[in-house]
C-alpha cells in the first residue's frame, strides 16, 4: 500500500513538473541492452549546448525514475513515510521554481510486461531512443515477441523516436504506430550512422558521423572499443541533430564520450596485457558482440572469461550453448567460465568447437588461473552478469595496478560486503 501510494504521488508530481515547465525537453532511453551507456552518451553530447539532467546510475524503475526526472535523491530509509513527505515537498518546490535544466535524459527499465507502457501514463517524451530487442528477463517475458512489444511501446507515446537499426529486427516494426520514427546504427542502412576508418583498443575510433539533415559527413572521434559501443554514440549524435545542435558541437560531444565502468572499458593489465572490462552485466546479444570485438584485436593471445548470463529463464540452456558455439579455437587460446549455467551449458559447447576450456565457481579463482596462463601483450575479455558471477573481482587479480580498482563496477562498501558474503559461501 505504501509503495503504491508513493508511486502514484510521484507520478502526479512529475506530470505537474513537466506541465509547469514545457520548455524542458524529455529524452527517454529504453531497450534490452545498452540503456545506461546510451543515456550517458546522449547527456555527454547535449551538454555541449544545453543544461542536462541525468542520473548516471540505473534509476529506471517505477519509483526511482520519477525521482531522477525531478532531480531528487532517493531516501535512504524508504519505509519511513516522513522522509517521503520531504521528497514530495522538494518536488513541489521544483514545480514552482524556474527550470534549472533544458533537457532531461531518463532511462526507463522493464523487468515485466507492461512496465514500459505504464510510464506512458504520465510521460510524453519529446524523443524516445530504443537501443535493442534481445532476450532479457525471460523468466517473465517468456517470448522475444513480448520483449519487442514491450520495448517498442515507448515510441508510440512519444513525440518522435530513434530506433537502433542494427539490434532491432525490422520484423518488429509491426508494433509501431508512431510515424515519426528514424533509425540509427553503424550500418549504412541506418539513417544516422557512423563510418569508422579504423580503431585501436586503446584509442577508439576515427571516422565520420552521418545525418540525413546534413549534406556532408562530419569527422568525429569516438573513444570506445567495438562496433556495438559506437551505437550509443550514434544515438547521441542523432538526438543532438534533432535538438538543433551544430555539427561542430556534436563532433566535440562525441569526442568526449568514454566507456562506463564495466561496459567494454579498456584497462591496463599485468604483463602489458589489455583487459576488456565488460563485467557490469551480460546477455546473449552483448556477449556475442563482445566476443566479436575480441577476435578483431591483433595480439599474441586471446582469453575470454565468460560468466553465466542471468535472467534468461527457460531459454538459459539454448542461449548459453549459442555463446559457447561462438567460441572459435582459431581466435581464442582459452575460454574460462564462471558460474553454474556457464559451466553446465557454455563450456561443453565451447569444448565441442575445440576450445581449451576451464571452469570455476568464482571469479577470483578464474582470475588467478588467467594470471597464471596469460602471455605478454595478451587481450583478456571479462564478460558476465552480477549475481553469483561478479567478474570485476577476478579482474583485480590481473590488473597492472591496484590503483585501477576504482575503475571497476560495484566497489561501494555495500557491494563489497555483499560479495564477500557470497564468496565465503562458495567452495571451488
Mean pLDDT, rounded, of the chain: 94
**pLDDT for the residue 141:** 82
Q: What is the pLDDT of residue 1?
A: 66
Q: What confidence tens digit (pLDDT) does each residue in 219-257 have?
A: 999 999 988 999 999 999 999 999 999 999 999 999 999
Q: Are strands 218-222 and 204-210 parallel, antiparallel or unpaired?
A: antiparallel
Q: Which are the contacts of 81, defined by CB distance < 8 A and separation ≥ 6?
A: 2
From-to residues of CATH 3.90.190.20 in the chain = 265-425
Domain 265-425: assigned CATH number: 3.90.190.20
Residue among 86, 82, 73, 72 nearest 17 (CA): 72
Cβ–Cβ < 8 Å for 193, 186: yes
Cβ atoms of 320 and 347 closer than 8 Å: no
The 10s digit of each residue's pLDDT in 131-142 is 999 877 777 788
Residues of the chain with CATH 3.40.1190.10: 2-255
Instruction: Check if the beta carbon of residue 116 is closer than 8 Å to that of residue 155.
Output: no
> ∠ CA 193-153-73 to the nearest 5 degrees?
90
> What's this model's pTM, rounded to 2 decimal places?
0.93
pLDDT in tens, 262-282: 999 999 999 999 999 999 999
What is the tens place of the pLDDT at every residue in 9-40?
Answer: 999 999 999 999 999 999 999 999 999 999 99
For the cut 80, the answer to whether the pLDDT of residue 195 exceeds it is yes
Taking the C-alpha atoms of residue 209 and residue 68, their distance in angstroms, rounded to an integer, is: 30
Distance CA 254, CA 209 (A): 9
pLDDT > 70? residue 103: yes
Strand locations in 103-158 (E):
103-107, 127-130
pLDDT of residue 395: 98
pLDDT in tens, 336-379: 999 999 999 999 999 999 999 999 999 999 999 999 999 999 99
Asked if pLDDT for residue 77 goes beyond 70, the answer is no
Question: d(Cα 411, Cα 214) in Å, to the nearest integer?
Answer: 43
- Give just the sign of the alpha carbon dihedral 209, 212, 214, 216: positive
CA-to-CA separations, 260 to 144, 207, 266, in angstroms, rounded: 27, 21, 10
CATH number attached to the domain at 2-255: 3.40.1190.10
Cell of 52: 542536462
Mean pLDDT of 384-391: 93
First-to-last C-alpha distance (Å) of the chain: 43
- Which of the four pLDDT bands, split at 50, 70 and 90, describes residue 78? low
8 Å CB contact between 326 and 381: no
Q: Which one, of 24, 30, 6, 13, lies nearest residue 157 by Cα?
A: 30
Element (H, E) at 208: strand 204-210
- Judge whether 88 and 9 are in contact, CB under 8 Å: yes
- How does DSSP assign 375-411, residue by residue? PTT-EEEEE--TTTT-HHHHHHHHBS-GGGGGGSSS-
- The candidate with the shortest Cα–Cα distance to 60, out of 71, 69, 52, is 69
From residue 332, how far is each of 203, 299, 301, 374 by CA, in Å? 23, 11, 7, 12
Average pLDDT of span 167-191: 96
**More confident call, 198 vs 337:** 337
Q: What is the DSSP letter of 172?
A: G
What is the C-alpha to C-alpha distance for residues 224 and 221, in angstroms, rounded to an integer? Answer: 9
DSSP string, 311-370: S-GGGHHHHHHHHHHT--TTT-SEEEEESHHIIIIIHHHHHHTT--EEEESSHHHHHHHH
Q: What is residue 399's DSSP assignment?
A: B
The candidate with the shortest Cα–Cα distance to 123, out of 255, 204, 239, 10, is: 10
**pLDDT of 171 strictly over 80:** yes
Amino acid at each position: 500500500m505504501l509503495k503504491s501510494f508513493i508511486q502514484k504521488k510521484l507520478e502526479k508530481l512529475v506530470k505537474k513538473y513537466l506541465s509547469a515547465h514545457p520548455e524542458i525537453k524529455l529524452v527517454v532511453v529504453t531497450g534490452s541492452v545498452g540503456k545506461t551507456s546510451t543515456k550517458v552518451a546522449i547527456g555527454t553530447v547535449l551538454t555541449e549546448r544545453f543544461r542536462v539532467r541525468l542520473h548516471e546510475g540505473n534509476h529506471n524503475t517505477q519509483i526511482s525514475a520519477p525521482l531522477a526526472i525531478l532531480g531528487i535523491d532517493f531516501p535512504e530509509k524508504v519505509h519511513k513515510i516522513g522522509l517521503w513527505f520531504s521528497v514530495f515537498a522538494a518536488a513541489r518546490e521544483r514545480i514552482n521554481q524556474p527550470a534549472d535544466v533544458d533537457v532531461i535524459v531518463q532511462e526507463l527499465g522493464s523487468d515485466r510486461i507492461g512496465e514500459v507502457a505504464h510510464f506512458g501514463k504520465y510521460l510524453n517524451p519529446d524523443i524516445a531512443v530504443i537501443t535493442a530487442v534481445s532476450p532479457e528477463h525471460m523468466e517473465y517475458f517468456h517470448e522475444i515477441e513480448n520483449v519487442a512489444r514491450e520495448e517498442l511501446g515507448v515510441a508510440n507515446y512519444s513525440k518522435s523516436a530513434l530506433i537502433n537499426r542494427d539490434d532491432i529486427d525490422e520484423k518488429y516494426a509491426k508494433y509501431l504506430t508512431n510515424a515519426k520514427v528514424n533509425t540509427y546504427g553503424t550500418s549504412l542502412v541506418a539513417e544516422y550512422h557512423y563510418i569508422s576508418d579504423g580503431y585501436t583498443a586503446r584509442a577508439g575510433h576515427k571516422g565520420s558521423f552521418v545525418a540525413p539533415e546534413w549534406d556532408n559527413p562530419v569527422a568525429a572521434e569516438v573513444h570506445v572499443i567495438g562496433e556495438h559501443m559506437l551505437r550509443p554514440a550514434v544515438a547521441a549524435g542523432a538526438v543532438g541533430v534533432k535538438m538543433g545542435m551544430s555539427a561542430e558541437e556534436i563532433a566535440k560531444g562525441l569526442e568526449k564520450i568514454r566507456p562506463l565502468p564495466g561496459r567494454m572499458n579498456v584497462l591496463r593489465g599485468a604483463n602489458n596485457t589489455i583487459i576488456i572490462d565488460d563485467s557490469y552485466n551480460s546477455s546473449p546479444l552483448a556477449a556475442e558482440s563482445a566476443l566479436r570485438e575480441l577476435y578483431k584485436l591483433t595480439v599474441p593471445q586471446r582469453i575470454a572469461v565468460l560468466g553465466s548470463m542471468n535472467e534468461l529463464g527457460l531459454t538459459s540452456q539454448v542461449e548459453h550453448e549459442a555463446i559457447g558455439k561462438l567460441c572459435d579455437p582459431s581466435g581464442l587460446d582459452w575460454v574460462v567460465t564462471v558460474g553454474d549455467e556457464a559451466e553446465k551449458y557454455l563450456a561443453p559447447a565451447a569444448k565441442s568447437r575445440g576450445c581449451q576450456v576451464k571452469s570455476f565457481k568464482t571469479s577470483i579463482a578464474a582470475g588467478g588461473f588467467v594470471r597464471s596462463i596469460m602471455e605478454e601483450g595478451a587481450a583478456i575479455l571479462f564478460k558476465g552478469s552480477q549475481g553469483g558471477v561478479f567478474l570485476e573481482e577476478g579482474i583485480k587479480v590481473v590488473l597492472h595496478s591496484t590503483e585501477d580498482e576504482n575503475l571497476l563496477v560495484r566497489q561501494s562498501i555495500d557491494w563489497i560486503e555483499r560479495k564477500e558474503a557470497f564468496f565465503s559461501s562458495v567452495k571451488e
